[in-house]
Structures are given as C-alpha cells and as structure tokens.
Amino acid sequence: MPELTYLEAIAQTLRQEMERDERVFLIGQDIGAYGGAFKVTNGLQEAFGEWRVIDAPLSETAIVGGCTGAALMGMRPIAEMQFADFVSCGWDQIVTVAAKQHWRAGTPIPIVIRLPSGGGFAGGPFHSQNPESSFAHIPGLKLVCPATPSDAKGLLTSAIDDPNPVLFFEHKHLYRRVRGEVAESRFTVPIGTARIEREGNDATLVTWGAMLHLAVEAADALVEDGASIEIVDLRSILPWDRDAVLASVEKTSRLLVVHEDTRTAGFGAEILATVAAELFEHLDAPPRRLTAPDCPVPFAPSLERRFLPQVEDLVTALRELLAY
C-alpha cells in the first residue's frame, strides 16, 4: 500500500468520491481557484468544474444552509469551514436545521462539514479551537476525529455515505506531519467504533485526534517503568464506543482521558461520568482527565505549548494514576 500524509488521504478521498458519485460536490471559501487554505482541494476545481467545487462567499451560514437545501434535493454536499473556529457562524443552520430535519420531516440530510481544527502552529484564539464538545450535545449530528491517514480516508468515506449530518474534525497539525499506509481502493471505517491502538493491562488511556500520537509516545516512556498502557483511539465522539472503553477499563481498572479541547464540559467529562457510573466497583483509582485549561488558545508559541497537553504531561499523569 502507498504511504500518504493525512492531508493526501483526505484529498484522495474527495477526488475518488467525486469521481464515483456525481451528487457529491464541494463548497467553501477559497477551495476552488486557490485550492483551499491548506491546499486539500488543490486541483479539484480544474478536474470537476466550478459547479462541483464552488468558491463560496464569506458566509458560513449560507454555506451550511445551501448544503442542507441541496441535501434535501438529493445531493451529497461537502462543506469546508476554512478553520473550525468559523463554524460558530453556521451554528443555527447546523443545530437548528440540519440536525433536526430527520425528526421534523423524516428526510435524510447527507452533508459533511469539514472542520480543520486544533492548535500547535501559533494560530491564536481564532484559528486553533477544538469545538467538538459544543456539538456533542446535539442529537442528530455525528462527530468524527481521525488520527491517522487511513482512518481519515475510511471515516470520510463513511461520512459521505451517511444519511445524517457529519462533522469531520481534521487536525491541522497532522496534515503534513503524519504519514501512513492507505489503501488506494475505496473502503470505510464505521462511525462510532473505537480502535485499540495498543493493548495493555495497567491503565487505559482514551483519546482521539492529534493527542493519539502523544499518547503513544507517553506509553513508550512508561515501558521503562514496567507499565503497560492500553490506548483506545475513540475516532468518533458522537456516537462514541462505550463498549470498547468500558471493556478496556474493566480490564485495567484505571482510566486517563486526554483531549486538546478545554476542560469544563469537554467530552472527556462524559467518558469519566459513564465509567464512574458503570464501573465504580472495578476502579482502583479515580478516573482522570488531562486537557487544555479553560482559556482561549494563546498566540505566543511558548504559551501555546503550556496550554496544549504535552508528552511529559501525559507521562506525569499516568505515573500519578498508577501510583494511586
């Protein structure tokens, strides 16, 4: 299998799905002539034309509203928010209209909203957010957060196939930094199914997106302590794989959840609450979270590093969990 970057895997999927299904079209700011802010859609307008790769005006509300209408008419639109932060401008169309249309009229809304998210490049508070927890409370939506090129392709394919609105969080820091083998042929990864990145017996570490790669580094460091850490890559947080998490924690009796989003009401809290309610008698230590603090993402690189969880933070948190 060829090796692709995370960005290349997403670009390949978009091209393949547009070739396979004429109902699939792209819309977003600067995605056509410019090729997208991160060049994910580079060359697609030349290949498919201006009516299937649409340069939209600066209005996320119009983009999402147009996609919802197109989906009602049988199309399969893929919208790009230039940065995930800007999705707040389309909140009403996503939450009030698209997410509820199935309950309102029984009609499918097969739209995908691509959300370049996350920090690590000194983008500051307006270009570095991880707003997944804001949408995880909304019935009718699905949220996926791939960490690897292969999962990026498989989950994006599943999102395009899905009859429900899917928010596809693609971490900007991974675009050109992560490579992996990706099958050239079409394949899907089921939304809502976690993946065991590494098996272990002493503690469970649950994470998703860019934090997976830090989790692997931290688990490697703990090998020197004689500790065996099981890593669960959640991959999707709505729906999330409760069974996989509960089975892992029942085995290890300890849980650490790591996410890049801020702490209060972050999705890690839902995981901890579920584990505490379902497995209280199996726990050898209180479940813990490691997250960003409750403040906007700083501009300064030195402050952003303090804001984002680092490998050394994971190692410290795991050692404290194991020592309890």
Q: Which domains does the chain have, with CATH numbers?
A: 3-181 (3.40.50.970), 195-323 (3.40.50.920)
User: How does pLDDT run across 133-181, given as a tens digit for each residue?
Assistant: 999 999 999 999 999 999 999 999 999 999 999 999 999 999 999 999 9
pLDDT at 287: 98
| pLDDT (tens digit per residue) in 91-143 | 999 999 999 999 999 999 999 999 999 999 899 999 999 999 999 999 999 99
1 pLDDT more than 90: no
Distance CA 252, CA 202 (A): 5
Which run of H or of E encompasses 248? helix 242-252
Give the residue-averaged pLDDT of 62-88: 97
Name the nearest CA neighbour of 234 among 205, 204, 266, 193: 193
Active-site positions? 127
Burial of 150 (0-12, 13-18, 19+ CB in 10 A): buried
- pLDDT tens-digit profile of 190-222? 999 999 999 999 999 999 999 999 999 999 999
Residue 139 in tokens: 């019935």
- The pLDDT-based confidence of 226 (bands split at 50, 70, 90) is very high
